[in-house]
Amino acid sequence: MAKVKLVDVAQLASVSKSTASQFINGRYDYMSKDTQERIRAAIKELDYVPNPIARNLKADRTKTIGVIVRDITGFDTSHTIRGVDDFCKTCGYNALIYNTDFDPDVEAKSLEALYQLRVDGIIIASSGGNNKLISDYINKGMPIVHFQLEHDGNEKNLILSDYRQAAFDATEYLIRLGHKKICFVTQDFKNVKSRNDRYLGYVSALEQHNIALDKNLIQYWHRETGFEHSPISILQSKAAPSAFFTQHLAITTDLLSQLNQTKISIPEDVSLIGFDDIPMAEFFKVPITVVKQEPYIIGKEATKLLLENINDKAKGSQKLMIACSVTERQSCKKIL
């Protein structure tokens, strides 16, 4: 079926395309009742639906924002998007979601597509690989708010969990249970400030309780290849930890899989606390203690900040920190 265009409506109603456009946009006070009725009847007969994108491209505001995420299926990310969407609805805005799968090239194309669609602003969980490009769009007048990760510390508008305090609280929770050998399992954090903040929170808790930092207990996980060193081999080493503190949901699930395969019991053999809540954790044989972020709140606050910047281009940059909490379950045991 051929798509009905505005010119088809105009022809059927025997009016100019400009007159039909004026009617569509609600500017018909000057029109005769007969003209209005003919256009209305033509729209109904042809089942014409206006193209909102085409209409918005002619307006100063599109009432649309873009949201760029790294993994739309992520538990926290999906809740963040829900917060964005709910806040948009209260303000008459729509959100266009782009998923990058952690690929900087896809991220760059998403930024370009949203810019060409003339969205009013963008919320992004960036890869860190397009910092200059993002700055260029900001300099062109595109309001942009970052969330989830802080890469180089130069992000102008940012909504984040308080990672450092959260990591401190989680580490101290384990220490108060008697744990001194706590294995910190993380992705590379040298060039990502948010990941480094978690490490600093972990180190700070050890220092406050006079526990020496053991570099052997800093272990790395890579999204493509998994653990740099097998968790099983770590548990069998001289520096064997009594607890793991994992820094991402994917790390937690990967660790659980390996422990289950080798019949290592939680918390009898080793305790575990993970960063990010786990879907349906209450149904696990041993529910996992986690650091719980507030992704829904982050989504709402990011949208609020973005719309403030859209409405006031002179508004100064802001960095907002959202508190996390430790959700205690059965995966951590007290030791002597």
27-40 tens-digit pLDDT: 877 889 999 999 99
For residue 152, the model assigns a pLDDT of 83
Q: Are residues 80 and 144 in the same domain?
A: yes
Q: At what angle do helices 295-311 and 75-90 cross, to 10 degrees?
A: 40
* Domain, as residue range, for 42: 6-50
For residue 26, the model assigns a pLDDT of 79
Q: Note whether residue 328 is domain-resident.
A: no
Domain with residue 22: its CATH number is: 1.10.260.40
For residue 192, the model assigns a pLDDT of 87
Q: Are residues 10 and 126 in the same domain?
A: no
Q: Are residues 317 and 276 in the same domain?
A: no
Return phi, psi of residue 244, to 5°. Answer: -105, 140
Structural domain count of the chain: 3
pTM of the model: 0.82
pLDDT for 194-210, tens place per residue? Answer: 999 999 999 999 999 99
Type and span of the H or E element at 163? helix 163-176
Q: Are residues 311 and 227 in the same domain?
A: no
CB atoms within 10 A of CB 98: 18
Q: Are residues 26 and 10 in the same domain?
A: yes
Q: Are residues 139 and 189 in the same domain?
A: no
Q: What one-character-per-residue DSSP string does 27-50 give?
A: --TTS-HHHHHHHHHHHHHHT---
Q: Are residues 92 and 175 in the same domain?
A: no
| Residue of 305, 238, 243, 293 whose CA lies nearest to 268 | 243
Q: Are residues 136 and 70 in the same domain?
A: yes
Q: Note whether residue 36 is domain-resident.
A: yes
Contact (Cβ atoms closer than 8 angstroms) between residue 243 and residue 272: yes
For residue 315, the model assigns a pLDDT of 82
Burial of 242 (0-12, 13-18, 19+ CB in 10 A): buried
Q: Note whether residue 55 is domain-resident.
A: no
End-to-end CA distance of the chain: 75
Domain with residue 230: its CATH number is: 3.40.50.2300
Q: What average pLDDT does the chain have? A: 91
Contact (Cβ atoms closer than 8 angstroms) between residue 168 and residue 204: yes
Q: Note whether residue 335 is domain-resident.
A: no
* Cα 100 to chain centroid, rounded: 11
Contact (Cβ atoms closer than 8 angstroms) between residue 137 and residue 111: yes
Q: Are residues 132 and 226 in the same domain?
A: no
Q: Note whether residue 336 is domain-resident.
A: no
Q: Are residues 264 and 181 in the same domain?
A: yes
Q: Note whether residue 56 is domain-resident.
A: no
Q: Are residues 243 and 178 in the same domain?
A: yes
Q: Are residues 311 and 258 in the same domain?
A: no
Distance between CA atoms of residues 310 and 142, nearest Å: 8
Number of H helices, E strands in the chain: 12, 13
Q: Note whether residue 333 is domain-resident.
A: no
Q: At what angle do helices 33-46 and 17-24 cross, to 10 degrees?
A: 90
- Give, as one character, the DSSP assignment of residue 140: T
pLDDT for 148-188, tens place per residue? Answer: 888 887 888 999 999 999 999 999 999 999 999 999 999 98
Q: At what angle do helices 33-46 and 6-13 cross, to 10 degrees?
A: 130
Distance between CA atoms of residues 294 and 130, nearest Å: 26
Residues 6+ apart with CB under 8 A from 283: none
Q: Note whether residue 59 is domain-resident.
A: no
Q: Mean pLDDT for each consecutive 10-residue tract of the chain (336 residues)? A: 82 90 82 91 87 61 93 92 97 95 95 92 94 93 93 87 97 97 92 92 97 95 93 91 95 93 93 89 83 96 96 86 95 90
Contact (Cβ atoms closer than 8 angstroms) between residue 208 and residue 172: yes
